[in-house]
Chains A and B, each alone.
Chain A
Amino acid sequence: MSKKVLAVDDSRTMREMLRHSLSAAGFDVTLAEDGADGLIKLKESDPDVVITDINMPVMDGFEFIENVRKLKELNRVPILVLSTESHPDKKRRAQQAGATGWIVKPFDPEKLVSAVHRVSP
C-alpha cells in the first residue's frame, strides 16, 4: 500500500508541485491550504508523513506543528518543514515546535522524495 503524505502550503502552485513530485514517487497525496486546514485533513487522511510550509495565513506552520504534537493521536507523525527560510533561528523554532526535518524551497523533487522516505515509518 502506498504511503500517505499530507502536504500543507498556502500557494496553489507549491501544492500542485508537491502533489506532482510525490505522486510520481508513488505516494498518496492529500493537500491542505493552511495550518487549520492541515489539522482537519490530518485527521481525515491519517498520513505517514506531513510536509508543511511555514509562512501561511490563518495558521502558520509553527502553530500547525505545535498543534499536531498536542493531538492525542497522530502526534508522532514525522513532519517535514518546507520553507524558503533557512535561517537557523527559524529552524530551531521549527524544531522546538516539533518538526522532524527541514527542507529548503525550491525543492529538488528527488531530494524531497528521499527526505520523505528518510522520515517515513
Chain B
Amino acid sequence: MNLDEIKETFFIECADQMVELETGLNTLVTDGVDIETVNSVFRAVHSVKGGAGAFELTNLVNFAHVFENALDIIRVDLGEATDSRLNLLLRAADVLNDIVVATRDEGEPIECAEITTELAQAFDISEVEEDDPDDAINNFQAVPISIMDLDLGDGGDEDASGDFDLGGGDGAPGFHVSFEPKPGLYLNGHDPQKLFRELAELGSLTATCDVDKMPVLSAMNPDDNYLSWSLVVDTDGELDSNTGEGKITEIFDWVSTECELSISYHAAEGGADGPSDNFDDFIGDDLMDIGEEGEVEGEEAPAEADLDAPLEGAAAPEETPAEETPEAPMAEETPETPIAEAPTAEVVELKPAEAEETKAAPKKVVKKTAQSIRVDSERVDRLINLMGELVINEAMLAERITNTGVALGSEVGVAMAELQSLTREIQNGVMAIRAQPVKPVFMRMSRVVREVCSATGKKAVLEFDGENTEVDTTVIEGLSDPLTHMIRNAVDHGIESPEVRLAAGKPAQGVVKLVAMHASGRIVIEIRDDGAGINRERVLEMALKKGIVSPEANLTDNEIDNLIFAAGFSTAETITDVSGRGVGMDVVRQSVQSLGGRVSITSTPGHGSVFSMSLPLTLAILDGMIVKEADQTLVIPVSSVLETLSLQEGDVTTLGNEDKVMQLRDKLIPIVDVGYELGFAKKRETFTGGTVLVVEGEKDCVGAFVVDSIMEQQQVVIKSLESNYQRISGIAAATILGNGRIALILDAADILSLHDTDANNNLAKTG
C-alpha cells in the first residue's frame, strides 16, 4: 500500500468511525450513559484523530482533539453526561463528519470555531489550549523519541564511534553516571548494553561494573539483578553541565523507574573533584531524584520517586541474601566488559504492585463490530456476476436435460436436482456477502431530524427498530436519498409545533420511528410519525388545482393520502425551507421505484402518518415468472404477481369506450393486454381463454396482465438495460434464459401506470 492508498483507507475507516460515533451518542441519549458506549465513542474520535495526525490534517486533528477532550470529561465521570452536553456532542459529531468529508474531498474548510467554543464552554475546557490551532497541533507533534534526538555537536560526532574507553578513571572530567538496574529493567525488555552504546555517542565512555552484590552461585536468583555500573562520559567540554545531564537523562528516560540513577558533572579543571571511591557517597552527593523529572514521572509516583525505598515487591526479599553475602566471590571489578548479559529467566512473576494494577485495569471492552473482513467490493461484484452466469448455465443445462426426455427420477435427473439446490444455496451465500445492515443509513437520519428540528423549532426524536435488518449494499446506497426526504417530510409536515402538540394533549416532543423488517422476500422500511397526519382537504384541494385529479373523482382517504406522491404535486406552496428543495415526494417515489421498490403512505388524522417502502433484498437476482406473449418470452417478477387465472367467457366487462375490466371477486380491475401495451403485438380480439396474471403495482393498484401462456417460474439474473442500452418504460431490466435467449423483465407497476395514463383514468397519474 502506498501513502495515497493508506489515506484512502483512512477515510473509509473514518466513515466507519463516524457511524460508530453517531450510534454511540444516540445510544447514550436514548438508553442512558454507560462506560462501554462512552469508551467506544471515545475510541472512534481518538482513532480519527490518530489517523488525521499521521496525514497532518490539521483541521481534523484540532477538532477531533477538542471533541476528545469533551468526551474524556464524560469518560472520567459519567455523571458529567448531561442531556444538553450529549446533544451538543451530537451536533459536534455532525460537524466532525462534515470536516472529514470536506477533508476527504478537499472541499472548502468547514467552519467550526463556533461549535468549538460551545464545546469548550459546555465542558469547561480551557480555551487557551484549544483555541490556538498551532498550540493544539503542537500537542500532537510527535514527541521526540528522546535519545534519537541527540544533537551531537561536531566534536560529538567525531566521538560517536561507540567505542567504550575503558581507560578512564575516577575524577576524570565529564559526566559521572551511577546506574543500578532493578530487575524490572530486564523484565521490560531493556538491555544496559544498548544504553551504554547511546552514552558512548555523547563522548568517550568509561564503564566500570560493580559486582559487589553478586552472591555465591547457590544464592543467586536468576530473576534478580546484582550488577551496577559507574560510567564516565567525557564529552571533551562539548556539552555543558545542564545540556549533558539533560541528554543523559533522556537516554535513561525509558528506564528511569527501573533503575537507580544518578548523574553528576565534573569539570575538567576541577579534575580532583572526581567521584568518590565510595560508591554510596557518590550517590549521596549527587543524588538525582528521578521523581523530580516531572514530565517523565508523575508527582504522584511516590514509590518510584523515592530512591531510598526498597526495591519493590518480589525483588525486595531476593535482595536480602545478596546483601548478606559479605564478600563477593568474584573479582571486585570486572573492567573487561561493562556489558553484562541480562539475567535470563524462564518464569517471570508479576510484582504484587503490578498484579494489583492488572486487576484494576479496565477489562475487556465491548467490541461492537463482529469478526469481519474487508473485501474489495469489486471482487464481490465479480463473484455475483459469476454467480449469475452459473445460474444461467444451470438453467440451460436443466433445459437441455429436460429436452432429451430424461425422466426426473433418473440418475441424471436427480443429480440435476441436487445441482439446482446447491446452486441456490451458493447463491444465497454469495448474496449474503453483500448484505449489510441498514443501520449506517438509519443513523445518518438522526442528523436529518436534528437539522429539521433546529430549522423549524419543532421537537422530535428519532427512534429505530430493526436497524440490523440486512439488505444488499446496492439497495442500501439507494436508500439514503428517499429516506432523507421522507424523514424531512415527516418532521416538517407531520410533527406539529410543541405548542400545538401540547394543546392536542400530546407530549411536546414528537417521535419519528424508523423501522426496517423483512417481509415476503423484500425489505420493508417504515417511517412512522406521531404528528397531525395528512391534511386531506388541503391535499385534495391542491391536487384539483394542479389538475392531478378531476373534480368528479371520488377518492378514498388512502387514495387522497397517496396523492402526495403524484408527479407535479409538490409545489412552491408546500415547499418550506426544510423539506422543499425543489423536489417533491414524486421524486422519492421515482427513486424508490428505480430500486425496484414501492412506496406508499397511510395516515390517521391527529395520530400521524406511516410512510412505507418495500424494496427487493437484492438488485442482482429475482424470482421470475416466465411467460409467452406473441412469440416473445417475458419475465414478470414473482413478487408483483398476486395470483394467476384464466379468463372465462363473461369475466370481461367493457367500461366506457374501450377500457376492459374484469371482475375479481368483489372488485373490478383493469385488463392489460401486455403485448399490445408494450407495442410489439396486435390488440387481442378477445380475452376469453387468455392467461391472466393478477399483478400489483403501486399502492394496492391491481391489474390483470393477459399473456398467451405461463412457462415456468425460475430465478433470473438481472442485467440492467439502462447501463447496457437505455431505459424503456414498462421494462425493468433484461435477463438471459436457460435457452440462451434474452428476455425482458417487466416492470409491472410501470405498465399499470402506463395503462392508466393511456386510459386517462381519473386516479391515474399517482401510479
Q: Residues on A close to B: CB < 8 A?
A: 10-14, 16-17, 19-20, 34, 55-60, 62-63, 66, 69-70, 72, 75-79, 84, 86, 88-89, 91-93, 95-108, 111-112, 114-115, 118-119, 121
Contact = CB atoms under 8 A, between A and B. Distances in A.
B13 A118 contact: no
A73 B40 CA distance: 33
B189 A77 contact: yes
A36 to B, nearest CB: 9
Given A76-B189, A92-B297, A11 B51 contact: yes
Contact of A11 (B47, B348, B357, B361): B47
A56 B43 CA distance: 8
Contact of A97 (B3, B145, B357, B363): B357
Interface in B417-439: none
A92 B304 CA distance: 10
B464 interface: no
A105 B140 CA distance: 7
A88 B346 contact: no
A55 to B, nearest CB: 6
B258 interface: yes
A106 B346 contact: no
Nearest to B374: A12
Given A92-B301, A106-B141, 18 more contacts: A12-B374, A13-B6, A13-B7, A13-B50, A16-B5, A16-B9, A63-B364, A69-B350, A76-B189, A76-B342, A76-B344, A92-B298, A95-B188, A95-B257, A103-B145, A104-B140, A115-B148, A118-B145
Nearest to A89: B298
B97 to A, nearest CB: 17
B258 A14 contact: no
B567 interface: no
Interface string B445-459: 000000000000000
B104 interface: no
A84 to B, nearest CB: 5
Contacts of B50: 11, 13-14, 84, 105-106
B260 to A, nearest CB: 15
A60 B143 CA distance: 22
B358 interface: yes
B413 interface: no
Contact of A70 (B149, B254, B350): B350
Interface in B236-283: 254, 257-258
Interface stretch (B158-166, B190-198, B505-513, B626-634): B190-198
Closest 9 CB pairs of A and B: A106-B53, A78-B189, A114-B148, A13-B10, A13-B51, A104-B143, A88-B298, A100-B189, A57-B367
Interface of B: 1-3, 5-7, 9-10, 13, 40, 42-43, 46-47, 49-51, 53-54, 56, 140-145, 147-149, 186-191, 194, 198, 254, 257-258, 294-298, 300-301, 304, 342, 344, 346-348, 350, 353-354, 357-358, 361-368, 374
24 contacts: A10-B43, A11-B50, A11-B51, A13-B13, A13-B54, A17-B6, A57-B43, A57-B365, A66-B350, A66-B354, A77-B189, A78-B190, A84-B49, A84-B50, A88-B296, A92-B298, A96-B357, A97-B354, A100-B188, A100-B189, A107-B142, A111-B145, A118-B147, A121-B191
Contact of B194 (A57, A58, A88, A118): A118
Nearest to A34: B367
A117 B333 CA distance: 30
Given A12-B13, A78-B190, A105-B50, A93 B143 contact: no
Contacts of B40: 57
Contacts of B191: 119, 121
A40 to B, nearest CB: 13
A35 B6 CA distance: 22
B145 A55 contact: no
Contacts of A58: 364-365, 367
Nearest to A84: B50
A84 B147 CA distance: 19
A99 B348 CA distance: 14
Contact of B354 (A75, A96, A103, A112): A96
Contacts of B7: 13
A76 B13 CA distance: 34
Nearest to B367: A57
Contacts of B49: 84
B43 A69 contact: no
Contact of B54 (A14, A63, A86, A119): A14
B188 A98 contact: yes
A20 B3 contact: yes
A100 to B, nearest CB: 4
A72 B344 CA distance: 12
A70 B347 CA distance: 8
B254 A75 contact: no
B290 to A, nearest CB: 11
B403 to A, nearest CB: 53
Contacts of A91: 296
B144 A111 contact: yes
Nearest to A91: B296
A63 to B, nearest CB: 6
B348 A75 contact: yes
A96 B143 CA distance: 21
Contacts of A77: 189
Contact of B145 (A70, A88, A115): A115
A35 B280 CA distance: 43
Contacts of A121: 191
Contacts of A59: 364
Nearest to B42: A55
Contact of B362 (A19, A60, A69, A88): A60
A76 B298 contact: no
Contacts of B5: 16
A19 B1 contact: yes
Contacts of B346: 72
A86 B7 CA distance: 25
Contacts of A99: 188
Nearest to B251: A118
B246 to A, nearest CB: 18
Contacts of A104: 140, 142-143
Given A60-B362, A103-B142, A119 B348 contact: no
B653 to A, nearest CB: 66
B54 A17 contact: yes
A70 B365 contact: no
Contacts of A89: 298, 300
Given A96-B357, A97-B357, A103-B142, A119 B258 contact: no
Contacts of B2: 20
Contacts of B51: 11, 13-14
Nearest to A108: B142
Nearest to A115: B145
A30 to B, nearest CB: 15
B189 A79 contact: yes
A105 B297 contact: no
Contacts of B358: 63, 66, 97
A93 B367 contact: no
A16 B6 contact: yes
A79 to B, nearest CB: 6
